Amino acid sequence: MSDSIQYNFSPGPALLPKEVFDQGAKALVNYNNSGLSIAEISHRSPIFESLLEEATQLIKELYKVPSHFEVIWVSGGASSQLAIAPMNLLREGESMAFIESGYWAKKAINATREIRAVEVLASSSGNSYTKLPELKITECRSKYLHLSSNETIEGLQYSEYPDVGKPLVLDMTSDFLVRDIPFDRVAIAFASAQKNFGIAGITCVLVNTNYLLDEKDVNIPSIFNYRTHIAHKSLYHTLPTFPMYMSLLALRWIKNKGGIQQMQRNATERSSLLYKVIDEHPKLKSITLDYRSKMNVCFKTNTALEEEQLKNHLKENNIIGINGFPTIGGFRASMYNFMPIESVEFLCKILNEF
């Protein structure tokens, strides 16, 4: 492995602070001087139960989670939740509303459609998802509104969540622990860890128990039922122990650095710096026109030749993970909770040299 600094702007899995990786590496060999690797510890051992409890408490504390919410941890990614949330919330004949804001909203629509009916309230496909759709409706027939809080691929983010008078199902995979959650109108909020609070392998789900269907109304396998995971305190089956520990370390780091308000300020500072350089640069243009994301900054050059030149210039300066999603092209700088401001300043300098 090279010792040279890499500036990693990858959309996820994303970077973690060196001290978190160092602690994780130590635990992989010998967890807290137990003589055991964190990867060989039983998920039912007191050691693991205590770290799981600490991580759960940290989520509750950082988000001031109300008492009628349960925090559960499940193995796997957020994609599963796109299907599991509607399974847990909708009876036969009921539907979920969506705002088709980009790639992840479309994925969610398709996942729900496999199980229940969907109602699309607005779409920005006509604008190639360069802005969030305008919501003109006055009536929503569905029981819930699903929102992709931040469209990771297109670089669009709600500054405030729209209100159609229905509880929200929030996919916060790319802006979890970066912004507040309006708990008074949320049914479910979820995010996988590999962008903002850990490594791939685990997902955190906040469940408003007031909205869970009665047992008699749920006709799904136990493993998909949120009630199962709540009843077993996330230990119904083997939670991936190492990813869970990495999330705990990441959560401790977030708390020590000032919590969600500070993460929010950092995200604003990083993205403002970068958008300013892009907006003032003669050879660069922002791809998104409105509701520009603080997490994923998407931009392009004026010509294909310049795109090639910029790609090389970035590569020569060890800036990696910054190519746009293949269907969109251009560039996308992803800057989650652990992205140091110094790396963004360096990227700005390199762009200004171009």
- Identify which range of 71-79, 109-117, 315-323, 340-348 contacts ligand PLP by CB under 6 A: 71-79
x-or-dash string of contact with ligand PLP, 162-181, rule CB under 6 A: ---------x-xx-------
Q: Is residue 337 a contact point for ligand PLP (CB under 6 A)?
A: no
Among 16, 27, 38, 78, binds ligand PLP (CB under 6 A): 78
Active site residue 311: no
Among 12, 86, 201, 324, binds ligand PLP (CB under 6 A): 12
| Shortest Å distance, C-beta 24 to ligand PLP | 19
Among 8, 37, 75, 79, binds ligand PLP (CB under 6 A): 79
Among 56, 148, 288, 301, binds ligand PLP (CB under 6 A): 148
Q: Is residue 77 a contact point for ligand PLP (CB under 6 A)?
A: yes
| Shortest Å distance, C-beta 352 to ligand PLP | 29
Active site residue 184: no
Q: Is residue 152 a contact point for ligand PLP (CB under 6 A)?
A: yes
Active site residue 217: no
H, E, C per residue of the chain: CCCCCCEECCCCCCCCCHHHHHHHHHHHHCHHHCCCCHHHCCCCCHHHHHHHHHHHHHHHHHHCCCCCEEEEEEECCHHHHHHHHHHHHCCCCCEEEEEECCHHHHHHHHHHHCCCEEEEEEECHHHCCCCCCCCCCCCCCCCEEEEECEECCCCEECCCCCCCCCCEEEECCCCCCCCCCCHHHEEEEEEECCCCCCCCCEEEEEEEHHHCCCHHHCCCCHHHCHHHHHHCCCCCCCCCHHHHHHHHHHHHHHHHCCHHHHHHHHHHHHHHHHHHHHHHCCCEEECCCCCECCCEEEEEECCHHHHHHHHHHHHHCCEECCECCCCCCCEEEECCCCCCHHHHHHHHHHHHHC
- Residues marked active site are found at 104, 171, 195
- Return residues touching ligand PLP (CB under 6 A): 12, 77-79, 104, 148, 152, 171, 173-174, 192
